[in-house]
Structure formats: C-alpha cells, structure tokens
Amino acid sequence: MSQTVILDSLTIANGATRYLELPVRDGTIGVQVLWRDAVSSATCTLELTSLRDVAAEVAGATGAWKDSGLTFTGPAATAADSFLINVENCRQARARLKVVAAAATFLLVLDGTAP
C-alpha cells in the first residue's frame, strides 16, 4: 500500500502571499489542498512556467510565472474542507500554487500523482 505524500504544510499570516511548487508528471498535476479549521481563508491560483531556472517560492520577474486561469474556492473561513487540483493536459514544465491569505491560514498540500 502506498503512503500519502505531503508536499508541504503551510502556515500563512493574514495578508501574506506564499508560493508552493507542484509536481508536473507526464503532463498532469494532481494535488489535494486541505484545511482543518473554520478560520483559514485564502485565494488560491495555479500558475505555470516553461522556465526551469526561476524560483518557485518568490513572486519573481514579471512574465516568468503566468496565471493558468484556474482559481480555486476555499478555504473560506466557514468550515474544515479541501479542494482538488486535477489538470490532465499541462503543457508547461513547472507549476506552482499561489496562496493569498485573507486570514491566518493553515494548509496541508498532498501529492495525488506521487508514484
């Protein structure tokens, strides 16, 4: 039986922005983002790039990371929950999750495509 692979456990202050690189495997992205409280609140956006030499953890140069057009609802400071990011046809080399917190936010990000 395979183990759950945790990509990161994020603690984000109110008003802060964090970035987390997500694996792209064979053109697919698959992660689950969980929060276990009714306080966390954030806007999460998937960003992509073909540049292999830019940092994923910082905002970076204009144009290096591009918004994929996918924005995810939650957490919304209402209850514990999660959302899934499932992309089957990613044609870029790298992906990251941009999280802009609207309250103190605690997220657990799981790798759904881990071997």
- CA separation for the pair 27, 100 (Å, rounded): 26
Q: Each residue of 77-90: b (16+ CB within 10 Å) or e?
A: beeebeeebebeeb
pLDDT at 1: 56
**pLDDT at site 67:** 93
Tokens representing 19? 């970035």
Mean pLDDT estimate for the chain: 94
- CATH number of the domain to which 45 belongs: 2.60.120.380
Each residue's pLDDT tens digit, 13-28:
999 999 999 999 999 9
pTM for this prediction: 0.93
| Residue 92 in domain | yes
Give per-residue pLDDT as tens, 68-99: 999 998 899 999 999 999 999 999 999 999 99
Task: State which residues form the domain around 29.
Answer: 5-54+64-111
pLDDT at 25: 96
